[in-house]
Amino acid sequence: MANGLAFTIEQRRGDEVVAAYDVRTGRERWTNSWKALFAEVLGGNGPRATPVWDDGRIYALGATGELRCLEAATGKLIWNKNILTDSGAENLQWGMSASPLVVDGKVIVAPGGPHGSSVIAYDKLTGKRVWGALDDRAAYDSPTIATVGGRRQLLVITAKRAVGLDVEDGKLLWEFPWVTQNDINVAQPIVVAANRIFLSSAYGHGAAVVELTPHGDGFETRAVWANNRMKNKFNSAVLYEGFLYGLDDGILACVDAGSGELKWKGGRYGYGQLLLASGHLVVLTEEGDLALVRAAPDQFQEVARFSALQGKTWNIPAISDGLLLVRNEVEMAAFRISE
């Protein structure tokens, strides 16, 4: 959301559509569309990745690899590129799902191509390739930027490992093996201490906290702890006051980030999503309910719950200016949550 507009990407029959809506009224302000239909029985049809706003521009990635840079005010096309074609990569079983990351004048995407095209940086203004890195097949989580071990870097989880990359040239700084069934890594890495990163996946894996120690031009890695107490399937956990809160295969759980100790498991919310807000968890359930849960390690406590949407709801909600926006493949809604 920016300048009174909410941006999303949708499937409308045979077209993928980036749309801007008035935040206050829900009225459509503009659309930009192209011919593309990604169809898959389990995950459903349509694009997966969340559009990104940056300095008056929208960067949106479709499920079949179409990357577009648009004017945020009008939807006018600035440049476009298919990242699968450009990298020589095949699409994933459940489609391109990693949202673009805009940082330091570059747009970072993860198509999973060979020959140094697994992760690619494009110039954000022109779409020209700046660098490419790795040969890994892609996963479903988005590149992110963080300072870990005293160094600002890109964090990426590919199909087989977690890595840190230099922002300027994509140089590999460290790696840590991270293998799941069918190469399904979806949850975002979370920095939990100055030199530690939390990783989690379901699909036969679990969770771990990885410590980075400076070594040469990069880092050595080791697991501080690893267990199966937090198995994020296709949703990410959040960190609050030293504790991780997330959906452990559909059941809300709290884990001590330092030790990996399970503090509690609570409500069954299915494969929904959650956000952290003012010491509480805003949980959007798989069935479309909204629940408010205390972010506290002593016990599970659901404060409130109501029905927000109808039908399967896997989309990540957003909070801005006291408004909570939620959507699924058939409807969307806005709720005022500020006092």
Structure tokens at 5: 């507009």
State pLDDT tens for residues 202-239. Answer: 998 999 999 999 999 999 999 999 999 999 998 999 99
Q: What is the pLDDT of residues 23-32, one digit of tens each?
A: 999 999 999 9
Total Cβ atoms within 10 A of residue 278: 10
- Residues 104-156: tens digit of each pLDDT: 999 999 999 999 999 999 999 999 999 999 999 999 999 999 999 999 999 99
Burial class (CB in 10 A: 0-12, 13-18, 19+), 299: exposed
Q: Which fold has domain 1-134?
A: Lipocalin (2.40.128)
Confidence of residue 339 (pLDDT cuts 50, 70, 90): low
Quote helix, strand, coil % in the chain, to nearest 5.
0, 50, 45
Asked if pLDDT for residue 42 goes beyond 90, the answer is no
Each domain of the chain, given as residue ranges in start order, spans: 1-134
Distance CA 219, CA 162 (A): 13
Distance of CA 96 to the CA centre of its chain: 12
148 pairs with which residues across the strands?
151
- What pTM did the predictor assign? 0.96
- Cα–Cα distances (Å) from 339 to 32, 140, 336, in that order, read 35, 36, 8
What is the reported pLDDT for 338?
A: 78
Give the residue-averaged pLDDT of 82-96: 97
For 7, the token pair is 């941006």
Distance, in Å, from the CA atom of 184 to the CA atom of 259, rounded to the nearest integer, reads 25
pLDDT digits (tens, 9 = 90+) for 149-207: 999 999 999 999 999 999 999 999 999 999 999 899 999 999 999 999 999 999 989 99
